[in-house]
């Protein structure tokens, strides 16, 4: 089984300008996450349309893209370079505390090979978390709304190459949610797996301040 990990990264993030270039322990966020993920033992790439981000990544592990509306769309632009892999894992560049234990249950699911697309969650969710509603291992819905239930959705996805090949054929029927995963929900076997991730995702200055205090 051949697996690639791809970290989609854009420069103009909505809530925190140029967050991929923010420094943590003298490393930019994107370089810190890239270096961590490389230790997992899989081919690891960064997909970006930013020259500033690209300059931080070894050319061998760089996938240059055009503009994209979300991370999945960005990775899908690289389909021709990723089709040799059995699975492509999308890990968000703001998951500063990602470690090998987080993806261990995900790799186990890949070995079973019973899905078209897979995503991860942790139990429970705060009001401002993206939430996943699921049943018997299948994803039913994703929402940003404070609905009072659901589990915390992590921005980790696993795709078969054919999902990347056809992703741009689907339109977002639920723009109010503005969640990339809802775009193909219901069309393919979309599974979920429980994992552990107690870390911070860097989306705001408050996240940076919190991480700095904890570390």
Rounded to whole angstroms, what are the CA distances from 11 to 57, 165, 193?
Answer: 14, 25, 30
- Compute the average pLDDT of residues 141-160: 93
Q: Which residues, including other chains, have CB under 8 Å from residue 70's CB and lie 6 or more apart?
A: 8, 180
Query: Residue 142: what pLDDT?
Result: 94
Are the C-beta atoms of residues 133 and 122 closer than 8 Å to each other? no
- Averaged pLDDT, 60-81: 94
Domain-wise residue ranges, the chain = 3-214
* Alpha helical stretches, state H, the chain: 29-38, 51-54, 71-76, 79-82, 100-112, 161-166, 205-214
Helix (H, G, I), strand (E, B) or coil at 190: strand
As a whole number, mean pLDDT of residues 51-78 equals 94
- Cα–Cα distance between 144 and 132 in angstroms, integer? 9
Which pair of structure tokens corresponds to residue 197? Answer: 């991730």
- CB 57: neighbour CB atoms within 10 A? 20
Cα separation, 66 vs 80, in Å, equals 14
Distance between CA 22 and CA 201 in Å, rounded? 13
Q: What integer pLDDT is reported at residue 16 of this predicted model?
A: 77
Query: Alpha-carbon torsion 18, 23, 27, 29, what sign?
Result: negative
pLDDT at residue 24, rounded to an integer: 87
The architecture CATH gives domain 3-214: Alpha-Beta Complex (3.90)
Per the CB < 8 A criterion, the answer to whether 61 and 81 are in contact is no
- CA pair distance 90, 169, nearest whole angstrom: 19
The pLDDT of residue 165: 93
Encode pLDDT of 98-139 as tens digits: 999 999 999 999 998 889 999 999 998 988 899 999 999 999
Instruction: Say yes or no to pLDDT of 213 above 70.
Output: no
User: Long-range contact list for 57-64, CB < 8 A, 24+ apart?
Assistant: 57/30, 57/31, 61/34, 63/6
């Amino acid at each position: 089984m051949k697996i690639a990990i791809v970290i989609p990264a854009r420069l103009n993030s909505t809530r925190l300008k140029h967050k991929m270039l923010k420094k943590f322990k003298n490393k930019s966020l994107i370089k810190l996450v890239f270096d961590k993920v490389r230790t997992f033992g899989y081919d690891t790439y960064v997909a970006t349309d930013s020259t500033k981000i690209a300059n931080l990544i070894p050319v061998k592990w760089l996938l240059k893209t055009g503009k994209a509306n979300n991370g999945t769309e960005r990775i899908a632009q690289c389909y021709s370079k990723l089709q040799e892999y059995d699975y492509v894992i999308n890990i968000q560049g703001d998951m500063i505390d990602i470690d090998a234990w987080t993806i261990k249950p995900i790799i186990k699911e890949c070995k079973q090979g019973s899905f078209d697309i897979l995503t991860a969650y942790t139990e429970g969710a705060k009001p401002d978390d993206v939430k996943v509603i699921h049943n018997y291992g299948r994803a039913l819905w994703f929402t940003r709304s404070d609905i009072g239930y659901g589990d915390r959705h992590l921005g980790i996805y696993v795709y078969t190459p054919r999902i990347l090949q056809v992703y741009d054929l689907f339109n977002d029927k639920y723009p109010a949610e503005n969640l990339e995963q809802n775009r193909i929900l219901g069309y393919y076997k979309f599974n979920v797996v429980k994992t552990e991730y107690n870390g911070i995702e860097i989306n705001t200055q408050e996240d940076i301040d919190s991480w700095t205090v904890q570390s």
